[in-house]
Amino acid sequence: MKKILRTAVITIVFALVSFYFTLPALNFRSPAFYGWLLEVAVVYVLASLIGTFSVSDLKNRTVDFKFLKTNAKIGILIIAVSVVVLGLGHVASHQFFHASAYQKMMPVENREFSEDITQISMNDVPIVDRDSAVQLGNRKIGELVNLISQFEVDESSYSYTQINYQGVPTRVAPLRYGNVIKWFNNQSNGIPGYISVDMTTQDVDLIQLEQGIKYSPGEYFFRDLDRHLRFKYPTKIFESYSFEVNDDGKPYWICPVIQYTIGFFGGRDVAGVVMVDACTGDSQYYDISEVPEWVDRAYSADIINEQINYWGQYKNGFINTIIGQKDVCVTSGGYNYLALEDDVWLYTGLTSVGNDASNIGLVLVNMRTKEAHYYIVSGATEYSAMASAEGQVQNLAYKATFPVLLNIGGQPTYLVSLKDNAGLVKKFAFVNVEKYQQVAIGDTLNDAYTAYAKQLSSGQIIDTSALEEITGKVLSVNTAVKEGNTYFYIQVSGSSKVFMASIQLDDVLAVIAPEDKVTIGYMDSEDAFIMMNSIEKK
């Protein structure tokens, strides 16, 4: 009886300690559950072995091999069942047997690029990538001596999440404790706030909260986010948290709940999300169709890219991906985000297998709803466009960031930032997706746009008939200096728009005066201020 009790105590204590640290979902559809079960079974066998060959039993020559044999059988049976379930579960869920089901996981709708992606003002273009946001955030926290001594900006994968905050593309990142000692000194009040980076203006704010953040992945014990979720939702499978704030600036952790929809361990998808109040720990589960609209990232980029690849690869079955490869396409290997109608959409290029230099199209996927659109746009992959931009400044050895996708004059266009070795943005480049040899470079965003507009209006990229034109009398001319360049703002009769351009567009801007008759070429948009592509004095 002592041996049974001793073995049970050792096994139970190990199981509880292991569960506390590894936190597997208590769910038969979770591979991590079987990994934990294997560990417990091995410890059960070892505990039985220790009990069988204890020092007192050896001295008294009362070794109970029957006890060892019985317990070993139980332990080995659990190990065998776990290994078989893991092995057969993965094999039975393989794409070889379910190619059609995998291909249909993400319904993709064919759409027209120029109809869905409207041209936005250069003032609204997000120019801050994640690396730049990290630099800006560290610089901001460094200015606050009282905070930098205790906290730092969290740079983990769940931080600097791109969201739409009150209609503005924004990256947000929580602070975290500097170390365990600083956690001990500050944990009663929690983390005081988070960093917010406006991706269009590069403005950085430290948002200080009335009530500190007390639940995060960087916490300890039962305030650790993983542990908090596991003990509240023991059977749910979680993956890829993200930090977001609602429209009132209140911080939340958005925690996708994973389900396997094909076979036993295949067809990874999101069933819903658990939203955790980062300050109080209060949480609520939402089915994926009921996730609040302010949430931007119910799906992780990994799951979306995985399902895009399933959609592109298995149109003609699994065997076709190996032999023949008819209509087989995959993502280009990189992705970025677009802000559309207060949602965040992931976009990536789609390239044919075996041809990684050009795209056959672009795929956009809503990160909250998984609505997916496919645009037939042949042209450069994102990496080819980056190389093309770098080639224009190869003497400076600048490195290109992953592009932002824009609509310029109805044309899919990549915006690339060019950085020096210190990670500072030195130039901007516009690269036409379909004709990526056409690159416009500028020291500022508006300079690069002006150069690109010249290429558009000259017919190098698109037919000039695709541009709008207005002829009228100049009503007013105003100038302003932005980033070292003179910009002209012109109003003409027949339009309520204000047309703007750098002096680099055309020297005639310097001599335009009220009452002059001019013809202005431009790409129409809903903005009150519109960049000119050309101007001619009559």
Specify the pLDDT at position 142. Answer: 81
Query: If we measure between CA atoms, which residue out of 200, 223, 187, 36 comes closest to residue 133?
Result: 200
Mean pLDDT for 59-81 is 71
The region of weakest confidence among 107-121, 230-244, 291-305, 450-464 is 450-464
Q: Give the 3-state secondary structure of residue 220.
A: coil
Q: Report the chain's mean pLDDT, rounded to a whole number.
A: 86
Q: Could you tell me the pLDDT band of residue 310, with boundaries at 50, 70 and 90?
A: very high
Domain boundaries 467-537, corresponding CATH code: 2.40.50.140
Q: How many C-beta atoms lie closer than 10 Å to residue 226's C-beta?
A: 15
Alpha helical stretches, state H, 377-503: 382-392, 445-457
Distance separating alpha carbons of residues 49 and 45, to the nearest angstrom:
6
**Region 514-525 average pLDDT:** 83
> What value does the mean pLDDT take over residues 204-223?
91
Q: What mean pLDDT do residues 270-281 have?
A: 96
Using the predicted structure, report yes or no on whether residue 350 has a pLDDT greater than 70.
Answer: yes
At how many degrees (to 10) do helices 301-313 and 95-103 cross?
Answer: 100
pLDDT at 195 over 70: yes
| Nearest residue to 241 (alpha-carbon basis) of 173, 339, 335 | 173
- pLDDT of the residue at 57: 56
Residue 271 scores a pLDDT above 60: yes
Has residue 6 got a pLDDT over 90? no
Mean pLDDT over residues 239-248, rounded?
A: 92
Above 60 in pLDDT, residue 288? yes
Give pLDDT, residue 348: 92
pLDDT classification of 468: cutoffs 50, 70, 90: confident
Task: Measure Cα distances from 118 to 186, 232, 439, 527 in Å.
Answer: 47, 44, 21, 11
What's the chain's length in residues? 538
Per-residue pLDDT, averaged over 80-99, amounts to 92
Q: pLDDT of 143-167, one tens digit each?
A: 776 777 888 899 888 889 899 998 8
Share of residues in the chain with pLDDT > 70 (%): 91
User: What is the rounded CA–CA span in Å between residue 477 and residue 490?
Assistant: 5
User: Average pLDDT, stretch 427-447?
Assistant: 86
Which structure tokens are listed for 301? 């980029």
What does the alpha-carbon distance between residue 97 and residue 161 come to, in Å, rounded to a whole number?
36
Alpha helices in 105-224 (DSSP H): 113-116, 130-142, 145-148, 180-186
- pLDDT at site 229: 96
3-state secondary structure of 311: helix
Q: For residues 391 and 341, is the Cβ–Cβ distance under 8 A? A: no
Query: Residue 289 above 80 pLDDT?
Result: yes
Q: Which neighbouring-strand residues pair with 407?
A: 412
Residue 112 has pLDDT above 80, yes or no: yes
- pLDDT average, residue stretch 304-326: 91
Arithmetic mean of pLDDT, 455-463: 61
DSSP calls for 225-290? HHHHHHHHSTT-EE---EEEE-TT--EEEEEEEEEEEETTTEEEEEEEEEEEETTT--EEEEEGGG
Q: Residue 104: pLDDT above 70?
A: yes
The pLDDT value recorded for residue 314 is: 93
- Are 176 and 162 contacting, i.e. CB atoms less than 8 angstroms apart? no
Q: Tokens in use for 267? A: 């067809």
pLDDT band at 39 (very low <50, low <70, confident <90, very high): very high
In sequence order, which residues have a C-beta less than 8 Å from that of residue 255 and are 6 or more positions away?
225, 229, 238, 241, 273, 274, 275, 276
Is the CA virtual torsion 520, 525, 526, 529 positive or negative?
Answer: negative
Q: 356: alpha, beta or left, given left = phi > 0 and alpha = psi -120 to 50?
A: alpha
DSSP-derived pairing of the beta strands 498-502 and 517-522: unpaired
Cα separation of 34 and 86, whole Å? Answer: 7
* Cα separation values, 430 from 60, 70, 137, 241, 262, Å: 85, 72, 27, 33, 42
User: Among residues of the chain, what percentage have pLDDT more than 90?
Assistant: 42
pLDDT of residue 357: 67
User: What is the per-residue pLDDT for 58?
Assistant: 47
Amino acid at 505: L
DSSP 425: E
Q: What is the pLDDT of residue 102?
A: 95
pLDDT at 332 over 80: yes
Q: Where are the domains of the chain?
A: 2-92, 126-298, 382-457, 467-537
pLDDT attached to residue 170: 93
In whole angstroms, what is the distance from residue 504 CA to residue 433 CA? 24
Site of tokens 């201020």: 529
| pLDDT at residue 460, as a whole number | 56
Residue pLDDT, tens place only, 382-408? 888 888 888 888 888 899 999 988 888
The confidence band for 66, taking pLDDT boundaries of 50, 70 and 90, is low
Residue 365's pLDDT is 95
| DSSP, res 316 | T
Residue 52: its pLDDT value, please?
57
27-41, 359-373, 440-454, 515-529: least confidently modelled range: 515-529
Residues 289, 291, 297: CA angle, nearest 5 degrees: 110
pTM of the model: 0.84
Q: What region, left, alpha or beta, does residue 217 occupy, with left being phi > 0 and alpha being psi -120 to 50 degrees?
A: alpha
Separation of CA 196 from chain center: 16
Q: What are residue 381's phi and psi, to 5 degrees?
A: -70, 165
Q: Which pLDDT does position 22 carry in this prediction? A: 93
